[in-house]
Amino acid sequence: MRREDGRPGPGDDVEAVLDELYALPPSEFVARREERAARARTQRRARDARRIHAARRPTLAGWAANLLRRSRPDEAERFLELGRALREAYATLDPGGLKELSAQRRRIVSEMSRQAAALAREEGHPLSDAVQRDVETTLRAVLADAEAAAVWEAGRVEGVLTPPSEFGADAVAAAPTRREPAPARKSRTDSTTARRKKDEEAERRRVEREERAARAREEARAAGERLRERVTAREKAAAALERADGQEREAGERVAALEEQLAQARTEQERTRAELGEARDRDRAAAEELAGAEREAAAAARRAERAERDGA
């Protein structure tokens, strides 16, 4: 909202507006973008208005990736950490180590994409197989490329992010075997000490590479294990929700049946009340008629007695 001094309020901050826009489903994006851009122009924030208006509507796959980032912040942070570890490991590991890490990467990307699909379905926008594959491609790019990771970390993915070709699904098979560079020819004047220092330096670099690779593998294994635990917990929660939903639906059906029976019983009660009223009215009328007949009979009896006395 706008402040009294004419300056933009907290809700008009351009970064907050962009966060709001990319959290919306694609179908709502353009209308809200134009609304926010118009507000910025009204407040004479032309630069902010241009930046808001330039925001591109995300595809369904981009929105699902952003939804995953926002809805699972802890898992997303671990995924980003895994990407940093994998990018570092790719520069140091041999093909065997890359093959192991790539297998872990594929499992984790598959699990994360299933989470994105589940979240999108809960929001009322189920993903087709093609769109889910686009989400997987984007997640692979997040692991492989620092710029893609930054876009996803900000939650502003617009379309499919593509991983670099050297870090793709078949990168391990194409990865060149790393060999130590062939030593340059030395003159006969090179000393044994110099060669020993070079060997020691090469050994030190080898040990460092192995240590980094071991750390990267352990981080990837731990991240995968944590992710699997979260997936299992989510599946259990979803199953419990489904059971509770079924029980609530059955209870609702029973309540509806009982309410219908109650309505019928109330209708029957009203009918019997009406019949009771009519019966009471008839009873009162019969009682009055009986009383009148009794009075009439008594009067006739008295007249008969008088007539007998007069005749005597």
Average pLDDT of span 296-301: 89
Average pLDDT, the chain: 81
Residue 1's pLDDT is 42
Q: Provide the token pair at 43.
A: 């407040």
- Tens-place pLDDT, residues 227-266: 667 766 667 766 777 787 778 888 888 888 888 888 888 8
Residue 286's pLDDT is 87
Q: Which range among 34-48, 74-88, 122-136 shows the weakest confidence by mean pLDDT?
A: 74-88
- Tens-place pLDDT, residues 153-186: 999 999 999 988 755 444 433 343 333 343 444 4
Q: Provide the token pair at 114.
A: 């299933």
Q: How large a percentage of the chain has pLDDT more than 90? A: 39
**Ordered alpha helix ranges (H), the chain:** 14-22, 26-42, 46-53, 60-71, 73-90, 95-122, 129-144, 146-153, 171-174, 192-311
Average pLDDT of span 61-85: 93
- Tens-place pLDDT, residues 119-151: 999 999 999 999 999 999 999 999 999 999 999
Q: Kindly indicate the confidence band of residue 204, based on its pLDDT and cuts at 50, 70 and 90.
A: confident
For CA atoms 289, 293, 296, 298, give the dihedral sign.
Answer: negative
What angle is formed at CA 149 by the lines to CA 169 and CA 49, rounded to 5 degrees? 135
The closest alpha carbon to 67, from 148, 125, 137, belongs to: 125
Compute the distance between CA of residue 274 and CA of residue 218 in angstroms, rounded to an integer: 83
**217 against 37, higher pLDDT:** 37
Residue 89's pLDDT is 76
- Would you put residue 222 in left (φ > 0), alpha (ψ -120 to 50) or beta? alpha
Residue 52's pLDDT is 96
- Tens-place pLDDT, residues 93-112: 656 666 777 778 889 999 99
Length of the chain (residues): 312
